[in-house]
Amino acid sequence: MLQLVNTGHKSLADYASIVSRGLMEEIKHLAEPIKGLRVLHLSATAFGGGVAEIQYTLIPLMRDAGLDVEWRIIHGQEEFFNVTKAVHNALQGDRRGLSHEDQEIFGRYNQLNAAQLDDSDYDVIIAHDPQPVGMIEHFSSSKAKWVWRCHIDLSDPNPDVIDFLAPQISHYDAMIFHLQQYIPARPGLPPAFIWPPAIDPLAPKNMALSREDAAYILDQFGIDVDRPLLTQVSRFDPWKDPLGVIDSYRLVKRKFPEIQLALVGSMAHDDPEGWDYYNRTVAYADGDPDIYILSNLNNVGSVEVNAFQVHSSVVLQKSIREGFGLTVSEALWKGRPTVAGRVGGIVTQIRDDETGRLVSSPEECAEACLDALRDPDRARRQALLGKEDVRRKFLTPRLLRDWLVLFNHLLGHDTDGADAELIANI
């Protein structure tokens, strides 16, 4: 059997004071006809990245709503994850395709994982991102509904890689993307649903943390808590542009010599490229004592990430490709001035120069940071407006509601118009 992930317990009632009463009532209404629904989530890793973070909240809340939900991790060796990283990069625009050997490796591991799954145990099976997408080909008579949840920016994908994946995706009953423009332009694909991911406001990464507590935590990592700090929280990969962040920091430092930079990431076992880019980032920092490059290997966990965001003068997410970028919602939820790349799902989270700043180059990023440092009160007011946007649009109970809508739709249940917004995107 595939590895089962223990996600613990959460209660929907704990969110009642954060989200609207109307949303809580809608969740209760949508959950009633599908109580006991057997749901399986499949993904490549249980840690390191936004997908895993979402699952640790979403799955317990699905259970609390009355569903029978599991999360299992597929198996793979380095050769498989090298291929899936190449697939990930290609879907985000890398022109390098897959060799015949790559395609064989991808198919072989999906077959091996499928052999360890009994689909008759579930009513709905959800495959997250490209790694497990091909497993469905080995369940031709499956009675379960299969959903492909893609968290990647597919606005300009490598056409050869999309052509390779399309026959596998065509077997699914539904696809889910963050944005309309991510839907692949290929015939024969299943209906597409559009909704953004979400953050858990009660998780250690996002719970209320005082500035004093945050300062105490940062002091343990050598940060001078009396000097301004820029922070980016993300994996170490070229799409997050940590080298561009360092360029921006160096431009800011010309005007604010006291500025510090923290690049805080996590190393995941399904991202072998991450080590190479981590090393490139360290080399690019060139020994600057005011640049702190930290990860889970330095004991940076959820609470520490929270502290870095809370204490930062500006939080950055200078992506050049981004499926969504939940670190933007995390920063805004904490009321922190936020500067982020004008790409992907980030543009749905920030209203430019109203709730934060959207930028397209290191120079623009530096100028936006300088504006926030020169006028912190205005930057803070914008961030607080952004926090209200997050409260309404990007918290986990809303994400749970969207999944319940889809489950009801797949099973042919009438949801009294609750699915109109989602179904309109088919």
Q: How far apart are CA 319 and CA 325, in angstroms?
A: 8
| 3 has a pLDDT exceeding 60 | yes
Query: Mind giving me the DSSP string for 26-75?
Result: HHHHHHGGGTT-EEEEEES-SSSSHHHHHHHHHHHHHHHTT-EEEEEE--
Position 259 confidence tier, pLDDT thresholds 50, 70, 90: very high
pLDDT at site 49: 73
Q: How confident is the model at residue 274 (pLDDT cuts 50, 70, 90)?
A: confident
Query: Predicted confidence band at 421 (pLDDT cuts at 50, 70, 90)?
Result: low
Determine the topology of domain 3-198+395-423 in CATH.
Rossmann fold (3.40.50)
Q: What is the pLDDT of residue 232?
A: 98
> Is-contact 233 354, C-beta < 8 A?
no
CA atoms of 301 and 265, how far apart (whole Å): 10
The confidence score (pLDDT) of residue 420 equals 46
Domain residue ranges in the chain: 3-198+395-423, 211-393
Residue 178 clears pLDDT 90, i.e. is over it: yes
Token pair, residue 212, equals 């004093």
Q: Is the pLDDT of residue 285 over 90?
A: yes
Q: Which amino acid is at 294?
A: L
pLDDT digits (tens, 9 = 90+) for 387-415: 999 999 999 999 999 999 999 999 998 77
Over range 292-314, report the average pLDDT: 94
Residue-level pLDDT at 91: 94
How would you label 314-342 residue by residue, b for 16+ Cβ within 10 Å and e otherwise? bbbbbbbbbbbbbbbbbbbbbbbbbbbbb
Q: Which helix (H) or strand (E) holds 101?
A: helix 100-114
Residue 24 has pLDDT above 50, yes or no: yes
Average pLDDT, the chain: 94
Contact 129, 149 (CB under 8 A): yes
pLDDT digits (tens, 9 = 90+) for 323-335: 899 999 999 999 9
Residue 55 sits at the vertex; the CA angle it makes with 302 and 50, to the nearest 5 degrees, is 55
Q: How far apart are CA 116 and CA 138, in angstroms?
A: 11
Is there a shared CATH topology between the 3-198+395-423 domain and the 211-393 domain?
yes
Which residues make Cβ contacts (< 8 Å) with residue 178, sequence separation at least 6?
A: 151, 194, 195, 196, 197, 323, 324, 344, 345, 348
C-alpha distances out from residue 343 to 180, 348, 425, Å: 14, 9, 21
Kindly state the average pLDDT of the residues 280-286.
Answer: 97
Band of residue 322 on the pLDDT scale cut at 50, 70, 90: very high
pLDDT of 221 > 80? The answer is yes
Q: What percentage of the chain exceeds 90 in pLDDT? A: 89
Mean pLDDT across 259-277: 82
Q: Which amino acid belongs to residue 377?
A: D
pLDDT at 426: 37
Interval 76-98 mean pLDDT: 94
CATH of domain 211-393: 3.40.50.2000
The answer to which of 114-128, 161-175, 401-415 has the lowest mean pLDDT is: 401-415
Residue 308: which of 203, 237, 209, 202 has the closest Cα?
Answer: 209
Is the pLDDT reported for residue 319 higher than 90? yes
**More confident site: 295 or 340:** 340
Q: What is the pLDDT of residues 33-58, one digit of tens each?
A: 999 999 999 999 998 678 899 999 99
